[in-house]
């Protein structure tokens, strides 16, 4: 606790979603490390949701942040999507895009890239509309609570997706393990867990603001996921790291697991 891990209150008061989007998801400067990572993630998400058969009725996105990139391929495979985040301003940023407000972040370069991956069956605007129709709710979420969605009751999900959330939400490994168990309460037996996170990152920057990250190693992640009652089906390491002035990670991981049908 003495490490000064970024508190929940600090996120509410200091996390600027617009700065985050401009720094990590602006497809403008072609060769940045951030763009290379985003492309890799989009390819892996496309493979998972469009080629590998991860599909169903309901997907809950845990810790969506202010982003929608992670849902672009998922909306081809799930009838309903629920987006969630702890930080109110991130939920507001998502709502801006869902409602097509003029000041919403422009995701069209990312959407075009995903449409290309998917064989250009539809154009960008049609893809965006499909995702907007699929996102049924935007909810507050706290992964450190035994009921991450609070009093909100949803049917058990077919898939939980979490991208770049858990390492920022959990100050230590016991909390990380507990968060995975908490999330399991939202998932039906046999359901899919898809997680993307940074490896061995202590912090990441949003504008001038520094936010803590739990430095996760591959083996610790695998052990925590298995302990929470999942069987790992895929564990891919992405060797690309963020720009050194943005974060100090050593690559990322992309994990697909399934919740066991019965307790061990």
Q: Binding site, residues?
A: 20, 25, 63-64, 69, 85, 90, 142-143
- Residue stretches of the annotated binding site for S-adenosyl-L-methionine: 20, 25, 63-64, 69, 85, 90, 142-143
CB contact at 8 A, 112 and 124: yes
Q: Which residues pair with 232 in a beta bridge?
A: 257
CA distance 97 to 105: 7
Q: Is the CB of residue 78 less than 8 Å from the CB of residue 57? A: yes
Q: Give the C-alpha distances (Å, rounded to integers) separating 199 from 94, 121, 129, 255, 257.
A: 26, 35, 34, 12, 18
What string of H, E and C letters represents the secondary structure of 113-143? HHHHHCCCCCCHHHHHHHHHHHEEEEEECCC
């Amino acid at each position: 606790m003495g490490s000064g891990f970024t508190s929940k209150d600090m996120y509410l008061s200091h996390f600027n979603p617009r700065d985050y989007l401009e720094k990590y998801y602006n497809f403008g400067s072609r060769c940045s490390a951030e763009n290379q990572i985003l492309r890799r993630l989009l390819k892996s998400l496309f493979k998972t949701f469009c080629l590998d058969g991860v599909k169903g009725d309901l997907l809950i996105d845990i810790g969506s942040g202010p982003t929608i990139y992670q849902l672009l391929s998922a909306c081809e495979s799930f009838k309903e999507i629920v987006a969630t985040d702890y930080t109110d301003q991130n939920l507001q940023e998502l709502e801006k895009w869902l409602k097509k407000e003029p000041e919403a972040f422009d995701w069209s370069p990312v959407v075009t890239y995903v449409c290309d991956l998917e064989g250009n069956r539809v154009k960008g605007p049609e893809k965006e509309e499909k995702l907007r129709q699929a996102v049924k709710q935007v909810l507050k979420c706290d992964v450190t609570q035994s009921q991450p969605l609070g009093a909100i009751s949803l049917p058990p999900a077919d898939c939980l997706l979490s991208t770049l959330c858990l390492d920022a939400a959990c100050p230590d490994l016991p909390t990380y393990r507990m968060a995975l168990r908490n999330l399991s309460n939202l998932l039906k037996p046999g359901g899919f867990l898809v997680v993307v996170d940074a490896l061995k990152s202590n912090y990441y920057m949003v504008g001038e603001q520094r936010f803590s990250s739990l430095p996760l190693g591959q083996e610790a992640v695998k052990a925590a996921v298995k302990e929470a009652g999942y069987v790992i089906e895929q564990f891919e390491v992405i060797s690309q790291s963020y720009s050194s002035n943005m974060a100090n990670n050593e690559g990322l991981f992309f994990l697909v697991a399934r919740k066991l049908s019965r307790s061990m």
